[in-house]
């Protein structure tokens, strides 16, 4: 057993290799992170023939997606020299789609240091990550929010709600949640206040939709005064 453990390949050990040399081909967009999230963005850009460069710090992911004809480079997008060589100074939009929270925040800090006016769109793993990205000036996209809301819309339709009404409910829910996100961002360091805010928000949201149906306290007020 000692001999086997000494000479057998170590499970999960990845081969180290140098980062790719990335030519400056004047991309309009730089995508950092080429998992499922980044790939969808890249496919849409490719369909519009918009020049972009994609970089991923996971060598196995790079080798995997290259097998399907994707042009992608292996490198660490939190290194300024790598971004500079890829043409970051002329990039119009940075897409930060890294799966690792700390890496994405490190890249945001790097961009704000060297490219303070850059337009940055960033993938967020959860609400707290989203707040941190917003504090660094990124436009945030929560990775499961849009698809979950779309499914919720379809559930309402499957239960018999008219599609137009489901569209409106989903739109109002999105607006409510975005306002809540901003309000809670100011409370992110106060766990007790966040918990109370979440409880209050559930009640407020329920009353909002009860008002639409003419039920509850808000519904009675709207019914008496008419819509404003």
Q: What is the pLDDT of residues 64-112, one digit of tens each?
A: 999 988 889 999 999 999 999 999 999 999 999 999 999 999 999 999 9
- Prediction pTM value: 0.76
Summarised one tens digit per residue, pLDDT across range 114-165 is: 999 999 999 999 888 999 999 999 999 998 899 999 999 999 999 999 999 9
Using DSSP's 3-state secondary structure scheme, residue 167 falls into: helix
Q: Let me know: does 22 contact 73? Beta carbons within 8 Å.
A: yes
Rounded to whole angstroms, the Cα distance separating 223 from 71 reads: 59
String of DSSP letters for 211-224: HHTT-HHHHHHHHH
* Inter-CA distances, 32 with 15, 19, 53, 141, 189, Å: 21, 14, 9, 14, 28
pLDDT over threshold 60, residue 15: no
């Amino acid at each position: 057993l000692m001999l086997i453990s000494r000479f057998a390949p170590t499970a999960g050990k990845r081969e180290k290799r140098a980062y790719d040399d990335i030519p400056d081909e004047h991309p309009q967009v730089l995508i950092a992170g080429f998992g499922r999230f980044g790939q969808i963005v890249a496919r849409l850009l490719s369909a519009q023939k918009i020049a972009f460069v994609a970089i991923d710090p996971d060598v196995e992911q790079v080798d995997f997606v290259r097998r399907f004809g994707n042009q992608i480079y292996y490198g660490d997008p939190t290194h300024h020299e790598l971004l500079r060589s890829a043409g970051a100074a002329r990039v119009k939009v940075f897409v930060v789609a890294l799966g690792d929270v700390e890496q994405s925040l490190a890249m945001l800090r790097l961009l704000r240091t060297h490219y303070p006016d850059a337009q940055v769109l960033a993938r967020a793993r959860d609400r707290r990550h989203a707040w941190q990205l917003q504090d660094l000036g990124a436009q945030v996209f929560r990775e499961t929010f849009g698809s979950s809301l779309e499914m919720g819309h379809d559930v309402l339709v499957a239960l018999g709600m008219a599609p137009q009404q489901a569209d409106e409910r989903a739109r109002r829910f999105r607006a409510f949640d975005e306002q809540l996100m901003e309000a809670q961002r100011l409370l992110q360091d106060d766990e007790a206040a966040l918990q109370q805010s979440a409880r209050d928000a559930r009640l407020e949201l329920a009353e909002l939709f009860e008002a639409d149906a003419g039920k509850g306290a808000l519904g009675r007020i709207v019914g008496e005064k008419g819509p404003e």
